[in-house]
Every structure is written in C-alpha cells, then in structure tokens.
C-alpha cells in the first residue's frame, strides 16, 4: 500500500463516526409556561412522538431527526427570540407556534432564513395572508370554523337573542367576527357584541350585561382559561344561556376550570381524529407510554409527517424546495390526507360541532 494513501485513510476513519451519526435538526416552539401551557404541552408530546416514530422508520433522507424544544410563553417578542435561536441552532423546519399573535411575527424570521414553519393551531386567516412561501398549518382557519358555528347559531336561534364576546386578541376577535359574519349572512343579528380582557379573573360586569340583555346564547372567541371562568361565573349568576366557543377548548383544562358549569357547552373543532383509523396506531403508542392524547397532539404530529414526506419528495431539506413540494400532491397523516393551496392552507376544512358533557367532549350527532 502506498504511504501516500495512509493520511487519506486516516482522515476517512476519523470522519466515519460523525457520518454515522449525521442528523437533521428540527425545532418545536409553543408556550410551555403561561396561561395556555397545557395546550403547548400536548403539542410538544405530539412533536416528540412524531420524531421518535420517523427515526424508528429510518429518519428523513437517511438521517435521524433531532428535536430542539423551545418555550415562547405565548408572548410575541419571546416567540421572535425563540425563532432566531432555532434558526441559529440549525433547525431546517419548525413546528409552531400556538397562537396567531406569536406565529405571525415568528414566521417572518423563518421566512427570511428559508425555514419551513408549520403551525398546528394558529387558525387566523392572517397567518397565511402575508405571502410568505414557507408558512403552513395542519389546522383549519377561523373563517371556516366561524362559518360552522355561525350557521349553527343562525339555525338554532332564529328570531332569538345571541351575544358575541371576544378576548380582544387577534384570534379571539377574529373568530367572533367570523361567527358574526356567518350569522348576519343568514339573517341573524347579534343582540350584544362585547369583550373581556384575557387573563382577568372577574367577569361580573360582562355577565351582568349578558343577563340584562336576556340573551339565549353566547358565542365566546378566546382561550379555554377565560372561557372556563366566564361560563362558571355566568352559571353562578343564574345565566342559563347556551355557550358556544372555538377550538382552544379542546383540552381537559377547560373542564378543570369550568367544572360542572361546562356541561352542555358547544365548540367547533376538527373532525374526530383520535377515533379515526389513520391515527389508531399512534394513539395506541401514546397510551402505551402512559399519555392519553388530546387532539392537539395529533395536529403537531401531522406537521412533522407532512414535512418529512415533502422533504423525501423534494430530495432535500432546503426550505424553499420542501415548501414547493408541500404544495404538490397529497400527504398521508394521522389527521387523514392533507394537501395545501398556494397560501399554505389546507385545501379541505373539517370543522364540526362538539358538546362537552361530564368532563368529555364528543361530536354532535
């Protein structure tokens, strides 16, 4: 053997361990502290399980995935800081963020760096309205769930008094306005349009207004923590109106706050995925690990599924290439088949009405 070949062989031998452990860095960002941390925790569990399952199947493009988890606390400026850390740390895609108010500013950071971000839960139309090619979601849009809730209210409460209340956030007000638009189109005008301040503990003044207006139903656009308190205080004050709300209430934490006052509350959420055949094996793995998954976990899991399949299709983890692949064809996920339009929204919405009863929620028959 020529002595000249020995240094090259030595260099190759030194590189082999690092080549054998090559990995692709992906990120996760959501509030793991603060008032909606319970939902963030469900999203984290979904992302972690997806990474584990993808790695068990061989990874993406022959490389295992490594997940970086970050807490944005549900605060916009912290979400931007988290986005910068994830990008600097080498993440080629990010599952996140939870709220519209954190997803929009963070998505600009990812777009500048060509990193795909897929939110499992940020449902405002504004999320994908900015023309950023690398922004996608696995959930639907507020105008879609607003149409479902508004149409239901217009049918069930024709000629009666319906109030609309929101928490003054982009999500909450946007959802309430979408319900209002759907109701109004179908001939039902709201008897009262009001708001509360998210995070406050005493909604007496609002409840008093609702009682004085003698409303038959109340739609609330906002997070589960405020919804739980509002419903409980309304029932304690003797308000018997039907409460209806949106997708953030799809967590046991709502019932933990509302208690028996939550009985009969209705909400919009995506079609039942926990009981679907597409999610059966994943749900079984969650439960075998001692975790009874909330639907949110599957939306987070699906975000990694669609990205991994698109990367394989693009033969690259380069953000713009993966984004282009995501807009082509259909991807199989725990939520069922998902395809995307030019904005990064799902081409099909599947919102239905659910009813809370005895601590559980189930689709209306």
pTM for the complete prediction? 0.89
Burial of residue 327 (number of CB atoms within 10 Å: 0-12, 13-18, 19+): middle
* Cis amide bond preceding 97, omega within 30: yes
Torsions phi, psi for 199 (to 5 deg):
100, -15
- Identify each DSSP E strand in the chain by its residue range: 23-30, 64-71, 93-96, 116-119, 135-137, 162-166, 192-195, 217-221, 242-245, 266-270, 331-333, 336-338, 351-357, 360-363
**pLDDT value at 5 more than 70:** no
Cβ contacts of 238 within 8 Å, gap of 6 or more: 211
Of the candidates 232, 224, 234, the residue with the CA atom closest to the CA atom of residue 254: 224
Distance CA 134, CA 113 (A): 10
Distance CA 37, CA 43 (A): 10
Distance CA 319, CA 109 (A): 13
pLDDT tens profile 136-181: 999 999 999 999 999 999 999 999 999 999 999 889 999 999 999 9
**pLDDT value at 53 more than 80:** yes
- pLDDT for residue 78: 98
Two structure tokens written together for 179: 């319900």
Two structure tokens written together for 258: 């509302």
Candidate from 14-18, 100-104, 256-260 with smallest mean pLDDT: 14-18
In this structure, are strands 266-270 and 351-357 parallel, antiparallel, or unpaired? antiparallel
- pLDDT for residue 21: 61
pLDDT tens profile 212-266: 999 999 999 999 999 999 999 999 999 999 999 999 999 899 999 999 999 999 9
- Starting at the edge strand found earlier in the chain, the sheet holding 135-137 runs 64-71, 23-30, 93-96, 116-119, 135-137
CA atoms within 13 A of residue 241's CA, in its CB half-sphere:
31
pLDDT tens profile 303-342: 999 999 999 999 999 999 999 999 999 999 999 999 999 9
Which strand (E) or helix (H) includes residue 21? none
Domains of the chain by range and CATH? 22-140+275-349 (3.40.50.2300), 143-270+352-363 (3.40.50.2300)
């Amino acid at each position: 053997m020529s002595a000249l070949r020995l240094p090259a062989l030595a260099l190759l031998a030194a590189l082999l361990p690092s080549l054998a452990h090559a990995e692709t860095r992906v990120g996760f960002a959501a509030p793991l502290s603060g008032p909606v941390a319970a939902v963030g925790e469900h999203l984290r569990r979904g992302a972690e399980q997806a990474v584990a399952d993808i790695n068990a199947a061989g990874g993406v493009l022959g490389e295992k995935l490594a997940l970086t988890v970050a807490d944005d606390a549900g605060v916009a400026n912290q979400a931007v800081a988290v986005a910068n850390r994830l990008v600097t740390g080498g993440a080629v895609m990010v599952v996140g963020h939870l709220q519209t108010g954190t997803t929009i500013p963070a998505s600009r950071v990812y777009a500048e760096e060509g990193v795909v971000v897929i939110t499992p839960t940020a449902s405002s139309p504004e999320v994908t309205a900015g023309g950023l090619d690398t922004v996608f979601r696995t959930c639907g849009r507020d105008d879609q769930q607003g149409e479902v809730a508004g149409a239901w209210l217009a049918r069930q409460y024709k000629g009666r008094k319906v109030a609309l209340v929101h928490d003054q956030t982009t999500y909450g007000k946007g959802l309430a306005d979408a319900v209002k638009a759907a109701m109004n189109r179908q001939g039902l005008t709201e008897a009262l349009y009001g708001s509360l301040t998210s995070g406050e503990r005493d909604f007496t003044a609002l409840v008093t207004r609702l009682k004085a207006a003698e409303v038959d139903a109340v739609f609330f656009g906002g997070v589960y923590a405020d919804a739980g308190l509002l419903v409980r205080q309304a029932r304690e004050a003797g308000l018997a109106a039907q409460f209806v709300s949106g997708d953030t209430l799809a967590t046991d934490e709502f019932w933990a706050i509302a208690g028996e006052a939550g009985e009969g509350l209705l909400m919009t959420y995506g079609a039942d995925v926990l009981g679907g055949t597409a999610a059966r094996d994943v749900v079984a793995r969650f439960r075998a690990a001692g975790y009874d998954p909330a639907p949110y976990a599957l939306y987070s899991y699906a975000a990694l599924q669609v990205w991994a399949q698109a990367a394989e299709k693009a033969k690259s983890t380069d953000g713009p290439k993966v984004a282009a692949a995501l807009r082509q064809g259909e991807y199989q996920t725990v939520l069922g088949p998902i395809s995307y339009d030019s904005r990064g929204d799902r081409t099909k919405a599947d919102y239905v009405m659910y009813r809370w009863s005895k601590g559980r929620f189930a689709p209306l028959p």
